Amino acid sequence: MNIHEKYMYRCIELAKIGAAHVAPNPMVGAVLVYKDRIIGEGFHEKYGMPHAEVNCLNSVKDEDTRLIPSSALYVSLEPCAHHGKTPPCTDLISEKKIPTVVVGCRDPFAEVNGKGIKKLQQAGIAVTTGVLENECKELNKRFFTFHTQQRPYILLKWAQTANGKISANNTERLLITNEFTNRLVHKWRSEEMAILVGTNTALLDAPELTNRLWNGKSPVRIVLDMDLKLPLSLKIFNQKQRIIIFNAVKYEEKENLLFFKLKKDNGIIHHVLSACHQMNIQSIMTEGGAKLLQSFIDAGLWDEARIITNTGLRVAEGLASPKLSHFHHLFAQNIFTDKIDFYYHNTAPF
């Protein structure tokens, strides 16, 4: 590991502390280094609040401020050049007379996208880019997918028995995963902006789709109910969190319920994703059912899959789980008899 990478890893570590508080902004970390000594550190802590660079420079001790014009600033994402909720970081970097900036990766957000690096260079600052570029992009895989593909990052999740069934052949809900895994799944829910299920899952499983077994924000709930068949008495419609009901009947908004009308044709998934993009939903976890998951897979519209297999459970008959294709297996994790396989679509994206 070279010296640039060492400090960029620290930026990534810092950035991660902002997880769950900064979306739809990216997680960003910054480190200020004077002669191989860190004199300032910061990260983007909360959406709408100061950027990593600002917090990093504010953290410099009084006795070290005179060193700022001789230091190098490391930042995991290209410094912004636009006026958003906060002023441009590039201006601050120039004002502080920082001579060297090392950037992890370019910001894909249209308002920045290269303009930050250009502005720094025009101010006579030496800029090095692409240090741990893949790691920095992966850190913000949701943000990158949203801005480069104009759709949310799609995480598929399902649980299956050892013989590949996601439900038994009766109306009773089949509980596949153990209580530790359930907590992990709720943690995952807290990390995504939205959670999506189809009509049958909403009806038969009657889930609440909140992350009540974990801390933090619950995702926005999304249900596909084209013909508005679901009774409003279902738990999913409670007022605990916002719910978007994609349907082909009406557009109506009341309190936490948004009925969003879509064209009913064979491009429904595309319509859902572009509506989510319009609503600034950066990531979606799709929890089922099998048909809906399979249509995402078949359309090639997914980024990551987490499949939980209870290796100790078999049912004689049941609904077959979806079949993943074009995947890259990342790793597996075991929680008692539950085995969780993590996959990326195609090869690792970054």
113 phi/psi in degrees, rounded to 5? 25, 70
Dihedral over Cα of 197, 200, 201, 205: its sign = positive
Q: How far is the CB of 72 from ligand AOF (least distance, A)?
A: 16
Using rule CB under 5 A, residue 89 touches Zn ion: yes
80 lies in the binding site for ligand AOF (CB under 6 A): yes
Q: How far apart are CA 121 and CA 113, in angstroms?
A: 14
Is 10 a binder of ligand AOF (CB under 6 A)?
A: no
* Token pair 């990093």: residue: 56
Q: Which of residues 83-122 bind ligand AOF (CB under 6 A)?
A: 84-86, 89, 107, 109, 112
Q: Is 52 in the site for ligand AOF (CB under 6 A)?
A: yes
The size of the interface with Zn ion (CB under 5 A), counted in residues, is 3
Q: Pick the stretch among 62-70, 72-80, 176-184, 243-251 that binds ligand AOF (CB under 6 A).
A: 72-80
Under rule CB under 5 A, residue 125 binds Zn ion: no
Dihedral pair phi/psi, residue 280, rounded to 5°? 65, 30
Distance (Å, whole) CA 156 – CA 288: 8
Nearest distance in Å: CB 104, ligand AOF = 11
Question: Contact at 8 Å (CB) between 302 and 174?
Answer: no
CB of 51 to Zn ion, least distance (A): 3
**Among 41, 53, 287, 304, which one carries the catalytic annotation?**
53
Q: Identify what 85 binds: Zn ion, ligand AOF, none; CB under 5 to 8 Å per kind.
A: ligand AOF
Q: Given the complex with Zn ion, which of 78 and 303 has the nearer CB atom?
A: 78
Q: Assess whether 78 carries a catalytic annotation.
A: no
- Which position has the token pair 């920045």? 112
Q: Give me the least distance between CB of 155 and ligand AOF, in Å please.
A: 21
**Torsion sign across C-alpha atoms 81, 83, 89, 90:** positive
Residue closer to Zn ion (CB basis): 43 or 237: 43
**Which residue stretches of 129-243 are H helix?**
133-139, 141-149, 179-191, 199-204
